[in-house]
Amino acid sequence: MKLFLDTANIDEIKALKDTGFVDGVTTNPSLIAKSGHDLMDTIAEICELVSGPVSAEVTATDADTMLKEGLKLAAIADNVAVKVPLTEAGLMTCKTLSDQGTMVNVTLCFSAAQALLAAKAGAKFISPFVGRLDDIGSDGMTLIEEIVTIYANYDMPTEVLVASVRGVQHVVDAAMMGADVATVPPQVISAMFKHPLTDKGLAAFLTDWEKTGQSIL
């Protein structure tokens, strides 16, 4: 399963990119606003830092303007994936851009029916928001299971990109379901390394090693 970083913060991306676990980046208008920096400059810098897909979202709501914005975003770098919302206009734009060979990430997906339409529109990625479904008492992971099943039934190439991830368990559940990608906040990737028994076991190993008086180098 691929791991994408869900952030527009350049420092956060720089801090984690050298781990080798950053397969791509996703942004959205809220993350860009949070970064405090210019969208075009930020996406260009991220595309320099990360060779995998970098999602940049349109902000128009009509198909004609979405297309103009999408083409401008796609022109920033070859690894830009244009993000469009799961609306009728968004899927029309997805079809046009995908037909031209542009990667499209269809975002704000909350149902299997929506995901089916996105795949039919040629989306490279579908982004179901599991955390926001959990937030309202639904089960985000049930949606992931439905989408993975539907796409497998018809051998649809659209990649399931689990988004709105709230913690490590979402990543594990997504992998158990066979999702292609999880896009995670930087703190979740950092948390994936951690387990108290690992820390405890390492401390014990090093304490016992110290007693030997030996050194490897």
Q: Which residues bind ligand G3P (CB under 6 A)?
A: 6, 26, 28, 31, 129, 131-132, 163-164, 183
List the structure tokens of 201: 């076991």
Smallest distance from ligand G3P to CB 128, Å: 10
Choice among 17, 34, 68, 83 that is catalytic: 83
Using an 8 Å Cβ cutoff, are 124 and 86 in contact? no
Smallest distance from ligand G3P to CB 187, Å: 12
Distance, in Å, from the CA atom of 21 to the CA atom of 141, rounded to the nearest integer, reads 23
Smallest distance from ligand G3P to CB 214, Å: 48
Q: Specify whether 83 is catalytic.
A: yes
42 C-beta neighbours (distance < 10 Å), count: 22
What is the residue type of 113? A
Smallest distance from ligand G3P to CB 165, Å: 7
Give the nearer residue to ligand G3P in terms of CB position, either 42 or 183.
183
Distance, in Å, from the CA atom of 160 to the CA atom of 199, rounded to the nearest integer, reads 33
Give the nearer residue to ligand G3P in terms of CB position, either 110 or 151.
110
> In Å, how far are 209, 213, 214 from 217, measured between CA atoms?
14, 12, 9
Give the nearer residue to ligand G3P in terms of CB position, either 116 or 188.
188
Q: What is the DSSP letter of 7?
A: -
Give the nearer residue to ligand G3P in terms of CB position, either 37 or 132.
132
Distance, in Å, from the CA atom of 210 to the CA atom of 204, rounded to the nearest integer, reads 10
Q: Which residues are catalytic?
A: 83
